[in-house]
Structures are given as structure tokens and as C-alpha cells.
Amino acid sequence: MSIVQKGICQIEDLDERGRGIGIFEGHKISLPYTIHGETVEFDKHTYRRRSNYTLNKILKASPSRIQPLCKYFGQCGGCVLQHLNLQEYTKFKESLIKKSLADYQIQTNLLPIINVPPGNRRRANFEAVKKEDKLFMGFHKLSSHKIVDLDSCPALLPDLSKLIPNLKSLLSNILDIRQKAKIFVTQASNGIDVTFELYGQKVLSDTQKKQIETFAEKNNLIRSVFRARKFIDIVYQIEEPYVIFGDLKVPVDAYCFLQASFESDKILQNLILKYSSGKKGVDLFCGRGTFLLPLSQHYSMDGFESDKHAVEALSSIIENLDINVTKQDLFLSPLTSRQLSIYDFAVINPPRCGAEAQIIELAKSYIKRIIYVSCNPSTFARDAKILIQNGFTLEQVQGVDQFYWSHHLEVAGVFSK
């Protein structure tokens, strides 16, 4: 049982997670849903000598505070920054880049952030549980395993948000009491794809299959899938879901990597096309071809990716094109500087951990232009420092806010030698 103590502090700044930082009893604490300059009351929960803090009330509000758009804000942990006005919000997002670059003593031209407005997210991973006669489905409460029950989400594309109540009705019928589920919803270019994982269940009953089929038909889905570990059961399908990159239809599923929205695809593709030059390029961590396929319309391209499903999806559509795709783990086996030296430019888009081993090889190569896209400003700055120390110039950094209302930010940096 936790011991609760009330306290009051003034918020002095926001940390990289968008949480307010204050001082209480000589210790730094962080409180979500606050703004610097505010005076707040909070509860300190102590359990087994570990403490955490939850906001109780705002005693003195900041003039930068606005009314959140979503009725679940403060309960659902999906968005943490809806209470900031546009000026304060933009300032916070810019600080993510500025602080990361400053940590590595990097100076460059920082362009104004491009915002992808809310209502554009094309996928969601919901969790659900049936308790007695009520079905709870939504996202987790911040720093908790508790599911916040939703009936809409303004961050999602409207058609995905409208699907939420109907999904809850379906799950209420097919789940047993206390059974949990995961639901993966993706808006593909040709329609909506939904995948279900039902905890403790390896196969669907005939009744469950029929209910999912009926749901898919009524809600105009293109596919509905049940998955239990490696077992895949395509319950309903009128088309295989795909996204369009460079006029090519690339098959997608619930688990593949995609940028957060169709709009962010276009923004990042345009940035990369703007700064690419020469005749031959390489796309490192190419995924399903978000950048590789548009680039192939202008350059001879090679792509490298460790995920076998992504490589298979690309390989199935690139016949007769000047593209080569290779399955290779660039963390364990990066392309060497000698291998890289046949290319005029490189595009690299690694996971959040960055790509230090591959960057070291890029830094030693004869490549003249590198476009680095990252969802983590901190590891981007770390890797950028390596390139700069080896003779590259970081010409500019562009922030792309495709994760609106969250503390995440996409960045794209242009390097030249």
C-alpha cells in the first residue's frame, strides 16, 4: 500500500517527455500536464522506497494553458501536450532539437518545424478487456497498465476514430469475461485493415469468425485478421492492404513499419528528393520503400533492410526496375566505407536507437551527401557528431511534427562533404 503525501511546487521547465519539472524537498520531480510558471498541487506516492508524483490541481495556471480538444486528455496517456497553446507547443518541439544538438556542441541552420495536424494518424494499437458485462477498449493511462475506455480519438483519421464504438461492440460479443485483446487498426491506401489478438486463444470459434466477418462487411473493411503468435488466420479479405510509394502498391500488415500518416510520407519524401543528387543512391534501413521507391523514379537505387517481410514485400513489386534490395542487419553488419563509395548519396532512416555502427562507416566513405531521417533527436545528434568530426557539414535540420500532441518529433538532417 502506498503512502500519499501532498505537496506544492512551481513548474520551472518541461523535460524531454513534455512533463513539468519542479523542486520539492530539495528533489527534482516531474509532473505531466503542467506548464512552466504554473503553481501546482500534487500527490507523492511512496511504495517500497520508490516515489512517483501525480498532478492534483493547478493552483496558478499559465496564460499559455488552453482547453484540450480531447475529452480524455489527462486520463489517456496517448497525448501529453494538448494543454499548450500553439506558441508554447512549438517552442517545446523546437527545444527537443535544440537541446539534443547543444548536448553535442552542434550548430546548424534549424528550419521552422512542419506540422502534420491532428486527425491524420493512420494506425492505432488498442488494448481491450471485458469486465463482467462491460468492455473497456482504448490506450493506457500515462505510466499505468490501466486501459482508458474510449469512444473516439481526435488524433486518428476520422474513419478510424468512428470505428472505435463498433469495435467495442464486436469485442463485447466475442470476448469471455476477464479476457483481454489487442486490436491493430491500419488505414491503408485502399481501405481499413484490422488485426485481432485474443489473449489465451489460439484459434477462433466458428461463431467468432462469423461475427468478425459480419463486422468487416458492415464497416467496409478490406481485411480482418486473427493472429496467435505465428498462426495467421485471414478471416475476411476483399483486397490485400497496400500503401502507395512512388506510384507502386506495397503490401502492408498490422506489424510493419510505416510513418505516422500519409501526409508525413509526402513531406519526408519531398525533403529527400529535394536534397538528393548524382546518379546512384543507397537507402539504409529502407523498410517497405517509403523513400526508396520515389527515389527510384530519378536515380539508380539500392536498398538495405533487416526485416525479411519488408524485403519480401519490396522484392515482389520491383521487377524490371533499377532497384536492388538486400536483406542485411546494418547493426551487426553495416555496409563498409568501401562498399558505400560507389554511391553519390545515402538516405538513412534507422530506429530510435540510431545507427552508430553504420554512421561510422558512412563517415569514412567518399559519399558526398547524406540525408538522415530520425524519430529520436538525441540519437540523431549523437550520430551527427560522428559525421561532423569526419569532415561532413550539417547544412540544416528540419523538424517534422508527425506525432502531434505527443513528445515525439521526426527530424531530417542534410549532410555534405
Catalytic residue selected from 9, 153, 286, 375: 375
Residue with cell 490485400: 240
- Residue whose grid cell is 500519409: 262
The verdict on whether residue 305 carries a ligand-binding annotation is: yes
C-alpha cell at 171: 469485442
DSSP string, 243-260: EEETTEEEE--TTS---S
CB hemisphere CA count around 157 (13 angstroms): 17
Half-sphere exposure of 389 (CA within 13 A, CB side): 11
375 is catalytic: yes
- Strand pairing partners for 305? 327
Q: Is 349 a known ligand-binding residue?
A: yes
Beta bridge mates, 399: 411
- Cα(152)–Cα(166) distance, integer angstroms: 11
Tell me, what DSSP letter sits at residue 335? P
Cell of 362: 558512412
Within the chain, how many helices (H) and strands (E) appear? 9, 22
Written as one letter, the residue type at 80 is V
96, 16 Cβ separation under 8 angstroms: yes
Strands (E), 257-375: 280-284, 300-305, 323-327, 345-348, 369-374
Binding residues for S-adenosyl-L-methionine, as ranges, are 259, 285, 305, 349
Binding residue numbers? 259, 285, 305, 349
Residues designated catalytic: 375
